[in-house]
Amino acid sequence: MTAIETLIDILTLEPIEVNLFRGQTPEDERRHNRIYGGQVIAQALMAAYKTVQGRRCHSLQAYFIRPGDPKAPVLYEVERSREGKSFTTRRVIAIQHGEQILNLAASFQVDEPGFEHMFKPPAADPPDRVPTDAERARLAGDDLSPHMKELVARDFSIEMRRLDPVNPFKPEKAEPAQRVWFRASGDVGDDMAMNQCVIAYATDMSLLSTCARPHGVSWMTGVQMASLDHILWFHRPSLARDWHLYVQDSPSASGARGFNRGAIYTESGVLVASAAQEGLIRQRSKS
């Protein structure tokens, strides 16, 4: 099974009871200490979608409460908060070992016409002219261990190409902004719920690192980093198999928290989503 097929599989939640669903973590991710946050967001959004018909998610807000255990399944309990003429609201609680690990609120809307405007994307080299992480690893020489080179070269469900890369092992101070091309590594079909869930999964991948850039640190240099919340707005439909430019900045860091924003454009320059996230960024104690 390819990585993207595995992602589709774990997003195809198991129904347990009315408003109750079960999700799993991929086998090769269970050796990690915690579940990747984007996975829990995507599964929670899919659980909400299982209780909604004929409407598309336009916004979600999630709070990470506890680290997820990748070796245990996650239960997703959906609360049907509101059924309106135009909008539907859902609240989802992700549970492991009897405790909440995430709660998410999502709003869905019927398709309707309205006023339109958007910011234009910044200039960026097209994705076919930007090296992949695996290609950069091959150029890194002795900076990466054989294990890390093997890790970045493996099959990923999301392909990422960084226009403003920083070496996480030897980070240098940089502007609190970055641009990343991303897309699903295979076709996930045309179902809008699945496409939104895959895009939501991808948006947690690089956003938090933006606030570390001006300080010349990374999660590989003894800094503790973890997502605290994640907000996502879907402005227009988009297919995860297509390239998206993720334009990120970090306006502020204080109180051991970093604030990050992201704008997501199609390759043709259409703004399809926006993201915001605050995360923990704390120097680990050396004692």
Report which of 195, 279, 203 is spatially closest to residue 246, judged by C-alpha positions.
Answer: 203
CA–CA dist 106, 86 (Å, integer) = 14
> ∠ CA(270), CA(53), CA(194), 5° rounding?
50
Catalytic entry in 39, 96, 196, 277 = 277
Catalytic entry in 24, 178, 204, 209 = 204
Distances, alpha carbon 199 to alpha carbons 13, 20, 35, 100, 120, in Å: 17, 23, 17, 24, 20
Active site residue 227: yes
Catalytic entry in 157, 206, 227, 238 = 227
Active site residue 204: yes
Structure tokens at 98: 């009897």
CA–CA dist 237, 222 (Å, integer) = 39
Instruction: Tell me the catalytic residues.
Output: 204, 227, 277
